[in-house]
């Protein structure tokens, strides 16, 4: 691994650590603010911070990147609406589920994305991905279902599962628009749209007080500045010098750091059953990301017979 690749991988790893710890900040922040209030303030903060970053990148005018203003606006609105749904479901789910479980259930989107692409565009993801789907579903059962219980998901777990589905749509939307628009501007617009929609609902459904904002200030700053603006910038810089498969795998470690953060900071404890579910979920995520490599190795093996 050359120096540039190593630097890129370390930046992505740092981003994953920041995202993982954000689950803790989100839970602690809701001790003082409602889920929509917390999301609205931290998303607007992230969007405002990215405004000068987007302006700086725009001045550079990188060759080959000339986004259509209409596509830029449409991408921001659509992706922002999906991010709003996903982040709202996640934030509400964190009221009654642990940071570790939320992190791993959210990671299910990595498996759902290729499956959704197959359903919508008839692109068969391959046997390895299907194996990952089976493992992920079984892992979700171990994580969310009480031993000897029925088929009903716990309320918070079900909301976070819905968050994973919404993130799947958001990722596919970003994947469609990413080649056509500025990535940093898209992130800026996503955060601003999500923040405004969240605050709009919060005004009618929650009580927002300056006292609550003050007491949740540290979680807000972390979730807005670090998890939103900083980690996203680390992702952009890191992916420039890192193989896409390696980059995706490193970013999936977010779920591992969410569990570790929940245990170290909040003192959350997971049962053996839940721990096994976490391990299987991580294996499913790894399989989803390494599917192209595994398929290539299998094709190479057959060609030498």
Summarised one tens digit per residue, pLDDT across range 270-304 is 678 778 877 887 787 777 667 666 666 655 555 54
Cβ contact 302:294 at 8 Å: no
Residue in the structure block whose two tokens are 């791993």 = 104
How far apart, in whole angstroms, are the C-alpha atoms of residue 253 and residue 240?
19
What are the Cα distances from residue 192, in Å, to 44, 53, 221?
5, 14, 16
Q: Is 169 helix (H, G, I), strand (E, B) or coil?
A: helix
| Residues present in the chain in total | 305
Residue 149 binned pLDDT confidence (cut-offs 50, 70, 90): low
| pLDDT on residue 197 | 95
What are the Cα distances from residue 214, in Å, to 37, 115, 206, 228, 265?
13, 43, 16, 20, 21
Cβ contact 128:294 at 8 Å: yes
Cβ contact 273:142 at 8 Å: yes
| Section 27-54 average pLDDT | 89
Displacement of CA 238 from its chain's centroid (Å)? 16
Summarised one tens digit per residue, pLDDT across range 105-129 is 877 777 787 778 778 877 666 777 7
**Model confidence at 81: pLDDT above 80:** yes
Summarised one tens digit per residue, pLDDT across range 173-221 is 877 887 787 778 888 998 999 999 999 999 999 888 899 999 999 999 9
Q: Mean pLDDT of all residues in the chain? A: 78
Q: Is 187 helix (H, G, I), strand (E, B) or coil?
A: helix
| Section 57-65 average pLDDT | 61
| Section 148-170 average pLDDT | 79
How far apart, in whole angstroms, are the C-alpha atoms of residue 138 and residue 93?
20
Cβ contact 265:24 at 8 Å: yes
| Section 42-51 average pLDDT | 92
Of the ranges 48-52, 238-242, 289-293, which is most confident?
A: 48-52
Q: At CB < 8 A and 24+ separation, what contacts does 115-124 make?
A: 116/168, 116/169, 116/172, 117/172, 120/172
- Tell me what percent of the residues of the chain surpass a pLDDT of 90: 16
* Range in 72-76, 223-227, 231-235, 288-292 with the lowest mean pLDDT: 288-292
Nearest to 231 by CA among 191, 272, 201: 191
Cβ contact 286:46 at 8 Å: no
| pLDDT on residue 46 | 92
Q: Both tokens of residue 120? A: 């919508």
Displacement of CA 103 from its chain's centroid (Å)? 9
| pLDDT on residue 41 | 94
Residue 167 binned pLDDT confidence (cut-offs 50, 70, 90): confident
Angle at which helix 155-177 crosses helix 69-93, to 10 degrees, equals 170
* Range in 76-80, 85-89, 228-232 with the lowest mean pLDDT: 228-232
| pLDDT on residue 203 | 92
Q: Which one has a higher pLDDT value, 133 or 86? A: 86
């Amino acid at each position: 691994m050359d120096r540039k690749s190593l630097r890129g991988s370390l930046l992505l790893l740092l981003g994953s650590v920041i995202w993982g710890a954000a689950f803790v900040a989100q839970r602690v922040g809701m001790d003082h603010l409602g889920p929509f209030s917390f999301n609205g303030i931290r998303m607007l903060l992230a969007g405002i911070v990215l405004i000068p970053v987007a302006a700086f990148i725009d001045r550079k005018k990188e060759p080959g990147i000339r986004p259509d203003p209409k596509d830029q606006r449409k991408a921001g609105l659509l992706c922002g609406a999906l991010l709003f749904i996903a982040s709202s479901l996640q934030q509400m789910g964190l009221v009654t589920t642990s940071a570790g479980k939320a992190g791993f259930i959210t990671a299910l989107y990595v498996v759902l994305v290729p499956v959704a692409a197959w359903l919508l565009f008839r692109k068969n993801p391959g046997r390895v991905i299907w194996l990952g789907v089976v493992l992920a579903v079984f892992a979700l059962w171990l994580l969310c279902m009480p031993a000897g219980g029925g088929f009903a998901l716990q309320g918070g777990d079900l909301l976070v599962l819905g968050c994973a589905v919404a993130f799947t749509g958001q990722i596919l939307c970003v994947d469609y628009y990413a080649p056509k628009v500025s990535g940093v501007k898209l992130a800026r617009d996503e955060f601003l749209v999500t923040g405004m929609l969240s605050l709009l609902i919060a005004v009618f459904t929650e009580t927002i007080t300056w006292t609550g904002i003050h007491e949740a200030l540290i979680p807000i700053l972390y979730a807005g500045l670090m998890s939103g603006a900083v980690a996203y910038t680390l992702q952009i810089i890191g992916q420039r010098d890192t193989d896409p498969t390696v980059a995706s795998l490193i970013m999936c470690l977010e779920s591992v750091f969410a569990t570790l953060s929940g245990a170290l900071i909040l003192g959350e404890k997971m049962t053996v059953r839940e721990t096994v579910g976490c391990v299987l979920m991580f294996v499913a995520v790894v399989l989803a990301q390494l599917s192209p490599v595994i398929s290539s190795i299998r094709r190479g093996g057959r060609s030498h017979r």
